[in-house]
Amino acid sequence: MTKTAWVFPGQGSQAQGMGVELQNSSIALEKFKQAEEILGWSVLEICQGDEEILSRTLYTQPCLYTIETILVDLLREQGKSPDVVAGHSLGEYVAVYTAGVYDFATGLKLVQKRGELMDKAEGGKMVALMKFDRDILNSIVSQTENVVIANDNNEGQVVISGEPNAVDAVVSQVKAKLTVPLKVSGAFHSPLMATAAAEFSQVLDTVNFSDATIPILSNIDPIPSTDAEIIKQRLVQQMTGGVRWREIMLQLPLENVTQVVEVGPGKVLTGLIKRTLKGVNLLNVETISTDAK
């Protein structure tokens, strides 16, 4: 039996103007209104405003979550549904919403808190590496304190994260074809986020999760699960643990997935999957034509 996976992009996929065309939908308008009541600011205004502001973690994450969950609702209105779900970093919160673990408002409040904690993080550095010797990279990272592989995106693309000097030391020793410092203040998905993760864990403890109606492939563990407590614990671990996206992609064929739909702005995940898996049908949903109702 063939299956469809929905995957959701995370921070870095945002773009000015995203979500604006969704205003013709009553579903979207209700979500935008609800989001403004929770956040205290307008997602649509931020998405149409200054790019620097939109790129701040504090704003990026709630904006992406809101727009991607709206797209999920609109796809469902068309009678579509996935067999498995996964999201890249922040995108995992949309996957959890899609699987019915919590409602829109609960997820948005978690994302808002997560974004605030990450936005306050200081003293870290993240650098993307493209085309390198993986064995050499793994060896150097294992021998260097205070640096980890934060995002394992595919065989030839990773992000390392940690203390600036440690990150620079790894970069200087690995002969990557391209290195790109990320515009972040903190060492996301590394042990340096332990304090933020502990605070976030306390917030999560107060939230009731339901068992998922759709299996979720997690960043911290690509083996699918529907268990509420496992899903919650994986979200806590995600803040200090790496995004194992390469392994998630390799898991998809084992789940008999033959079609992957990227739901959200951009085509970052589609590109990664295209370079990793053969024979998988790839689709993108960045917007949905809607009639005013």
pLDDT tens, 216-239?
A: 999 999 999 999 999 999 999 999
Q: Look at residue 242 and give its three-state secondary structure.
A: coil
88 is catalytic: no
Cβ atoms of 43 and 33 closer than 8 Å: no
Q: What is the pLDDT of residue 289?
A: 67
pLDDT tens, 1-14?
A: 789 999 999 998 99
Q: What is the pLDDT of residue 24?
A: 86
Q: Is residue 22 part of a domain?
A: yes
Query: Do 195 and 226 lie in a common domain?
Result: yes
Structurally, how many domains does the chain consist of? 2
Query: Do 251 and 164 lie in a common domain?
Result: no
β 125-130/157-162 pair status? antiparallel
CATH number of the domain where residue 244 is located? 3.40.366.10
Query: Do 107 and 22 lie in a common domain?
Result: yes
Q: Which domain holds residue 36?
A: 3-121+190-285
Query: Do 176 and 208 lie in a common domain?
Result: no
89 is catalytic: yes
Structure tokens at 284: 């993108």
Interatomic CA distance for residues 128 and 147, integer angstroms: 13
Interatomic CA distance for residues 70 and 62, integer angstroms: 12
pLDDT tens, 178-221?
A: 999 998 878 999 999 999 999 999 999 999 999 999 999 999 99
Of 189, 190, 218, 225, catalytic:
189
Triad 27, 30, 31: Cα angle to 5°: 85
pLDDT tens, 94-126?
A: 999 999 999 999 999 999 999 999 988 888 999
Of 25, 89, 218, 225, catalytic:
89
CATH number of the domain where residue 176 is located? 3.30.70.250
State the amino acid at position 75 in one-letter form.
Answer: L
Query: Do 134 and 111 lie in a common domain?
Result: no
Structure tokens at 275: 């370079």
